Amino acid sequence: MTMIAFHRCWGKLTLSLVGCLFHSCTYFKSLRADVDTLARGVDTLRIEVRELNVRTANLMELVRLSRADQQVRLDELEKTLESMGGAIVENQAKLSKIDEKTQALKQGWEERARADSLAKAAEQAETQSLFDVAISDFNAGRRAVALAGFEDIVRRFPDSQKAEEALYWIGECHYAQKMKVEAEKTYLQYLKLYPAGMKVCPALFKLGQIYHAAKRNDERNAAWNKLIETCPNSEESEIAKSRMKK
Amino acid sequence: MMRTVLSSAFVFCFASSLSRLRLPGILVVVCSLLPAVSFAERIDLEIYAGTYDSVPIAVCAFPPAAGERLKKDLPWQTIADDLEFSGRFRVLRLSERDTTQLAAENIGITIEGRYELTGDTLTMECRLCDAFSQETILGKRFAGLESESRKMAHRFANIVYEFLFSERGIFESSILFIRDNGAVKTVCCMDYDGRNVRALTSASTINLFPCFADSGIFFWVSYLKGTPDLFKGSLRGAGLGEPFIVTKHTETSPSYSPVEMRLAYASSEDGNLEIYTCDIDGGDRKQLTFNRAVDTSPCWSPEGYNIAFISDRTGQPQLYVMDNEGANVRRLTFEGSYQDSPAWSPRGNLIAYTSLRNGKYDIWVITPEGKDARQVTTKAGSNEYPSWSSNGSHIVFHSILGGKSELYAIRPDGTGLKRLTDVGNARMPDWSQF
């Protein structure tokens, strides 16, 4: 039994070995194929690596050149920056000077504006003060003095706020002193210069009164109709209506 | 060296000025005495008068030159009262000239004189003298009835006042007022100092708002015909007066302008009270205000161009001014809930009026431009109805300061308050021209 077993075993072993050997041959063949493939691959890789190296070298060269280029540019930029920095400093200095000048100018303008404003305010205060004195003289019966005061305002401050009122009161001074010709002339001047003025209503009324007293009825009616049309709710309008009825 | 001030003596008819006050016509000889004023002394007097706020002056009692002695209305006392009232003198009253006292009081001028009373005829010499040299600066002689002694004294006080200050004095002026006896209110007249009160209306009815006009004429409101109407009367006599404007409407609060010779008044003819003017005969009536508000209490400015009045066109009675044709209406007062009875100073610079503030009536003044409103009366009591003296130095008004309605005078700055009447029911004064 043992030789059979041995022969079986040896047979099996031999089969196995043959099998293995066959297998190994096959394996080695495939291995060899693989190795060949790998070798070919390696070769390829070598070629590629060589190519890559070349490319890399080229790239490095490019990089180097680029770096050199950039360096040059950087240098140039640096120079430019330096010069710009200098220019900036220069400009800053100039700007400072300009700023100082601007400040000075601004201060000057502000002072001038303030002075102008003060001058204007002073002028307004002066005209108001002159007007107050003149109207006080008028109310106290000092017509001639009041007239001189109002005329002074109109002559010296023709563009002031009080010039308009002063012109009207010049008319009143004439009217109060029964100088009807002068009064008429002044009221007409007032109405021409200030058609929307604050004293239009009494000016039209007084004009009508002058015409009424002189029996210039057409002119009276014209003045008072204009009064009624322009100032329908005024006291003067009501008086004119009642006088025209008579 | 003696020099005469006037070149010749003249006879001055005193009757014309006295007669308007119901006094018998008296011929008074007023002539210059022999004033002895050198040019240098005249200059000194002007400096003297200009140096002081209150000029120191002594008034010495007048001794009788002959005849009887005056027992009442002593003229030197009247002169002293007048000068003191003016507020421009510091008066020292002396029973006789006393140089020591004059020196102690720093008195530079004196008023001295003498009189002669024979029966009821009084002759009086009044002199303004240099206190130390006793030289006469100004002298006047008067002659008349003894009852005229106050008039003579007032006249001399006026002469002295005008001589020193170059403006007319008020010592011969009069005041109209109402004596309120309930259902009967009478128009009365008195001297400015409250003396010589006499009734001018005799009707037993309600009379109100007396107002001086010209030449002894006055106006007032009377209910004689049943409704308030305007009447015209004469200072020369008491009576019913004559109807001036009598309608079925209300006419009230007259005010006369001697410059314009027109009367302003309020009338309800238009349906509500409006301001009208007319001439002294009642003609040429013109309506000046036209609105639904109550417009009343007109008061002329001294030169006659403007009229102050009261209107409630903005809801409450406030003070307004317009010109004498109704144009240029402008409002003056904006404070106080009730203003009334404006009176324009003869100097033209102020308007006095009654104002109700904090439940009390007081006299206020304001400029015609509506500025610088200022309270004049400050004491307790209801102070109303102002009227100016003819030179603008004083305001008369009625007040219940002492518990009864009397007339008082005060200066516009609130000083110098003085009671003028003692009748218990005096109201609505109106001060005459000079």
Give the Å distances, CA to CA, from B160 to B59, B79, B113, B129, B433: 12, 10, 13, 11, 19
Q: Which chain A residues contact residue B290 at CB under 8 A?
A: 235, 238-239, 242
Distances (CA, A) of B247 to A213, B267, B375: 29, 10, 38
pLDDT score of B279 more than 90: yes
Interface contact B368-A141, CB threshold 8 A: no
What ipTM score was computed for the predicted complex, to two decimals?
A: 0.77
Q: Provide the 10 A C-beta neighbour count for residue B226.
A: 9
In this predicted model, which residue has the larger pLDDT, B170 or B24? Answer: B170
Mutate to test the interface with A, among B325, B331, B332, B365 (most CBs of A within 10 A): B325
> Is B183 within 8 Å of chain A by CB?
no
**Model pLDDT, residue B238:** 65
| Comparison of pLDDT for B100 and A117, the residue scoring more | B100
Ranges assigned E (strand) in A102-190: none
Predicted confidence band of residue B16 (pLDDT cuts 50, 70, 90): very low
Q: Please report the pLDDT score of residue B82 as a whole number.
A: 97
Higher pLDDT, B339 or A119: B339
Q: Taking residues A135-163, report their average pLDDT.
A: 93
Beta bridge mates, B308: B299, B321
Q: Do A141 and B327 touch (CB under 8 A)?
A: no
Quick one: pLDDT at residue B5?
Answer: 34
Binary contact (B290, A236; C-beta < 8 A)? no
Confidence of residue B76 (pLDDT cuts 50, 70, 90): very high
Percentage, residues of chain A above pLDDT 70: 99
Please, which residues have CB within 8 angstroms of residue B190's CB and are 6 or more apart in sequence? B174, B175, B177, B196, B197, B198, B420, B421
Residue B222 has a pLDDT of: 94
**Is residue B10 over pLDDT 60?**
no
Which residues from A are below 8 Å from B327, CB to CB? 201-202, 205-206, 235-236, 239
Q: Assign B203 a pLDDT band (cuts: 50, 70, 90).
A: confident
Contact state of A140 with B349 under an 8 Å Cβ cutoff: yes
Inter-CA distances, A75 with A70, A86, B107, B169, Å:
8, 16, 109, 108
User: Which tens digit of pLDDT belongs to each residue from A79-105?
Assistant: 777 777 777 777 787 788 888 888 888
The C-alpha atoms of residue A58 and residue B263 are separated, in whole angstroms, by 124
pLDDT, chain B, mean: 88
In this predicted structure, the answer to whether residue B150 has a pLDDT above a threshold of 50 is yes
pLDDT higher than 60, residue B1: no
Cβ of residue A209 closer than 8 Å to a chain B Cβ:
yes
pTM, two decimals, is 0.76
Q: How many C-beta atoms lie closer than 10 Å to residue A89's C-beta?
A: 10
- Amino acid type, A217: N
pLDDT at B369 over 80: yes
In the predicted model, is pLDDT for residue B8 greater than 60?
no
Question: For the residues of B113-133, what is the DSSP string, one character each?
Answer: EEEEEETTEEEEEEEEEETTT
CB contact under 8 A, B303 and A242: no
Residue B115 CA to residue B126 CA, distance in Å, equals 9
Which contacts (CB < 8 Å, 24+ apart) does range B373-381 have?
A: B373/B333, B373/B335, B375/B414, B376/B352, B376/B410, B376/B412, B376/B413, B376/B414, B377/B410, B377/B414, B377/B417, B378/B414, B379/B417
Mean pLDDT within B252-265: 95
- A118 pLDDT higher than 80: no
A205 → chain B, closest CA residue: B327
Question: Band of the pLDDT at B32, cuts 50, 70, 90?
Answer: very low
Q: Do B325 and A205 touch (CB under 8 A)?
A: yes
